[in-house]
Structure 1
C-alpha cells in the first residue's frame, strides 16, 4: 500500500523507527534501500530523506561506500548518556515541583498507586508502562520544551539498546522506592529534593544495567 502524507519522508522515518524499536530491524542490520523502497511502495528519494532523519537521531549510521546500518549502542554510549539524562530529568523534576498543581499531584498519586500495585504483583511490562507515564508527566509539568526535546532524543538511543534493567535482582523494588522518593519531594514542593531524587533514580538505572550486563556476559573457561 502506497503511503500518502503531507511529509512522506516523516512517515517513512516513523515506520522505520517503529520497526527498529520493535527489533524487526536489529542493531547492525544493513538497510537495503532498494528492498525497503519496494516494501513500502515508495521511491528512494523519501527513503533517503527518512534515513537522514534517523541518522541525526542516532538510530542509524551511514558508512561511506557501504550504506546505512541500524546503529548499535555500546556500554560506553550508555555510560555517557545516562549521566546526561540524570541531569536533564533531574532539572525537569526541579521545575515540575515548582509548577505542579494539586490536580497534577493527584494524577501522579494515582499513577504511583498503579506503579506500586504492578511492583507487588511483579507485572514488569505494566510497571514499565506506568513508569514511562510518570516520567512523561514530570517532563510535561516542567514546561520546558528544550529539556523535553533533548530528553526525547536521548531516550531514542537508550530504547535502541532494548534494555530490561528491571530484571536485575532487586531492581524492581529499588526502582519503586526511588519513584516514591521523587514523588514525596514533588508533593512537598521541594524542588531541590525532587531533582536530587530523580538524578539518583537515573544513576541507579545505569548501575543496574551494568550489573545485568556483567551477569549475562559469558564466563571465560
Structure 2
C-alpha cells in the first residue's frame, strides 16, 4: 500500500483507521508492541503521520504510550472492563429514557424493525453483532446528545479490545435478544424508567458474560 492510496483524508486519520481495524481484528493483539518502522515501511509513509495516528488511538484508549518503549496495544484489565460497562450502562440507559419520552412513532417503528432484523440474524453471529451495534447507535442518535454519543463511541472502542466478547458465551446471544425485546417493548410503551432499567440490566448481564 502506498501513501497515495491513503488520500484524500488527512494521512494520519487514514493511518489511525487502518491501525484501529488491525487492533479490532486482533491482527495487532492486546499487549503487543507496535513496530513503527515496520508499519511505516508497509504503508509507504514517514513515521510522522504514523506517530500522529498513534496519538489519536492513545486518546481513544486503544493504544498505550510507554516512555522510552514506544506504543503498545492496550490490554483491558478486569477493572477496566467493569468500569467501561458501568459507564455504558449509565449513558445508554439515560439515552433509552430520553427515547422513550421523546421519540416519534416513526422512530420507534424503526427500532422495532431493527429488532426484527436482529431476531432474523440470531444464527449468523457476525450479522447479529453488526445489527446489534447499529441498534444501539441508532437509539443513541435518537436521544440527540452529541457529547454522550462521543463518550459511548470511545467506550465501545475500548470494549472491543476485550478478548472474550460477551456475545461469544454460549446462550448469550439468545439472552441478549430477549433483553433487546424487553427494551424495545418499554420504549414503544413509552415507559422511560423501565426502558432505562432494562438497558442498564442489559449491560450488567453483558459484563457478567464477558468476564
Residue 76 in 1 paired to residue 79 in 2? yes
**Paired residue for 2:204?**
203
Q: Render the CA deviation track for 1:29-82: whole Å, top value 9, x for unaligned.
A: 211111111111111111111111111111111111111111111112111111
- Residue 190 of structure 1 aligns with which residue? 191
Once structures 1 and 2 are overlaid, which stretch shifts more, 3-12 or 131-140?
A: 3-12
State the superposition RMSD in angstroms: 1.4
- Give the one of 55, 59, 84 matched to 2:58: 55
Query: How many pairs are equivalent?
Result: 208
* 1:168-208 CA-partner distances (Å, limit 9, x unpaired): 23322221111011101110111111111100100100011
Deviations 1:136-185 (A, max 9, x none): 11111100101100000000000112443223233222211110111011
Gap runs ≥5 in structure 2 = none
Is residue 21–residue 162 contact of structure 1 (8 Å, CA) maintained in 2?
Answer: no
Equivalent positions of 1:129-168 (< 5 A) are: 129-168=130-169
What is the rounded CA distance, in whole Å, between the counterparts of 1:159 and 1:82 in structure 2?
Answer: 12
Q: Which residue of 2 aligns with 1:67?
A: 70
Q: Aligned pair 1:173/2:174, yes or no?
A: yes
- The worse-fitting range, judged by mean Cα deviation, of 158-167 and 172-181 is 158-167
TM-score by length of 2: 0.93
Aligned match of 2:45: 42
Normalising by structure 1, report the TM-score: 0.89
Secondary structure of the residue aligned to 1:160 is coil
Structure 2 residue aligned with 1:216: none
Q: Alpha carbons of 1:167 and 1:36: their partners in 2 closer, same or farther (altered >3 Å)?
A: closer
Q: Distance in 2 between matches of 1:167 and 1:23?
A: 15
Point out where structure 1 has 5 or more consecutive residues left out of the alignment: 211-221
Q: 1:98-118: per-residue Cα shift (whole Å, max 9, x none)?
A: 232111122111111122233
Query: What SS is found at the alignment partner of 2:26?
Result: coil
